[in-house]
Amino acid sequence: MAIREIQAKQMLSSRARPDPRFGLRYTFNIYRGCQHGCIYCDSRSLCYGIEDFDEILVKADALERLADEWPRKRVKGLVGTGSMSDPYGPVEAGLLLTRGALEIVARHGFPLHLITRSDLAVRDADLLARIALDTACYVWFTITTADDALAALVEPRSPSPARRLAAIRALSEAGVTTGVTPMPVLPYLEDTEENVTDVVRRAADSGASYVIPAFSMTMRDRQRDYYYAALDRQWPGLSERYRRRYGKRYECPGDRAPRLQQAFAGLVAAYGLATRVPPWASSAAATQATLF
């Protein structure tokens, strides 16, 4: 798998207001492309402009850019990373750029929202715990199935679900708020009550605070072609079932989605899990809330 260095024009993207779903005010991504090889990844789509998603583009000057841009961010807000490329892909083990970015986040006292499917995050438990103690730190682990054998087919180069669950336990014990995102729950492969129950139960047992699922998937252009080719290799005939059911649709909910949503609601209630990221408030907002 090719790895190539590029220069970043800008690292921190800002929003005038936090986004309504996750509360993010700022985002950054150090890498483009991904080494985990998930067959369903939406980031392969043409709209993201990544010609070869299996080629890893490393923003070699990422830390210098972040260090330069951060002091100009006067409004403190939740910072997200991992939306376009996993910050803990195998390349990070040697480059330590994500760790360097966490040091900058911690230095400036911003809260963090990080998405990954790698247990490499445990390496940085000291920094993640420091951010959690100073402000707030939310680390999501994508787990669409707790079945290691199935995961090896749909996420062929990712750490196993068992390793991710062990990472959740380790980070939770370190004081980091952890969650699980079964996104996407793949139609005809993962959309069973047994699978959803297993993911939720094991997430709770590992110390996760919240679970946020998507009982559907998205498909468009290049990503759809890649997914269907993978289905044809592993499950001959299944792509034709998708074609008949969804055609060229972008949103592709599973046939069992309503039933799974109902079962999920009962499970999270039983295990005491949240279904959204806990809200974060700045110290100024918290002080105001106390006064009034």
Q: How far is CA 25 from CA 18, 116, 286, in A?
A: 5, 19, 17
Contact 37, 11 (CB under 8 A): no
Per the confidence metrics, is the pTM higher than 0.85? yes
Can you read off the two tokens belonging to residue 286?
Answer: 């918290």
Reported as a single tens digit per residue, the pLDDT across 172-211 is 999 999 999 999 999 999 999 999 999 999 999 999 999 9
Of 161-170, 219-228, 275-284, minimum mean pLDDT range: 275-284
* 4 in Cβ contact with 50 (< 8 Å): no
Which residues, in sequence order, are CB contacts of 64 under 8 Å at separation 6+?
Answer: none
Which residue do the tokens 């649709």 mark? 249
Rounded Cα gap, residues 42 and 183, in angstroms: 11
Asked if the model's pLDDT at residue 111 lies above 90, the reply is yes
Question: What pLDDT does residue 242 have?
Answer: 96
Q: How far is CA 58 from the centre of its chain?
A: 19
Residue 109 has pLDDT above 60, yes or no: yes
Laid out side by side, the sheet with 56-59 consists of 3-6, 56-59, 31-32
pLDDT digits (tens, 9 = 90+) for 29-63: 999 888 898 999 998 998 887 778 888 899 999 99
Band (19; pLDDT cuts 50, 70, 90): confident
> How sure is the predictor about 1, in pLDDT bands with cuts at 50, 70 and 90?
low
- In this predicted structure, the answer to whether residue 241 has a pLDDT above a threshold of 50 is yes
Asked if the model's pLDDT at residue 286 lies above 60, the reply is: no
Residue-wise pLDDT for 212-227, tens only, equals 999 999 999 999 999 9
Residue 8: CB atoms within 10 Å:
20
Measured between alpha carbons, how far is 107 from 63 in angstroms, rounded to an integer? 13
Mean pLDDT of the chain: 91
* Three-state secondary-structure class, residue 161: helix
Does the pLDDT value for residue 97 go beyond 60?
Answer: yes
Cα–Cα distance measured from residue 143 to residue 182, given in angstroms and rounded to the nearest whole number: 5
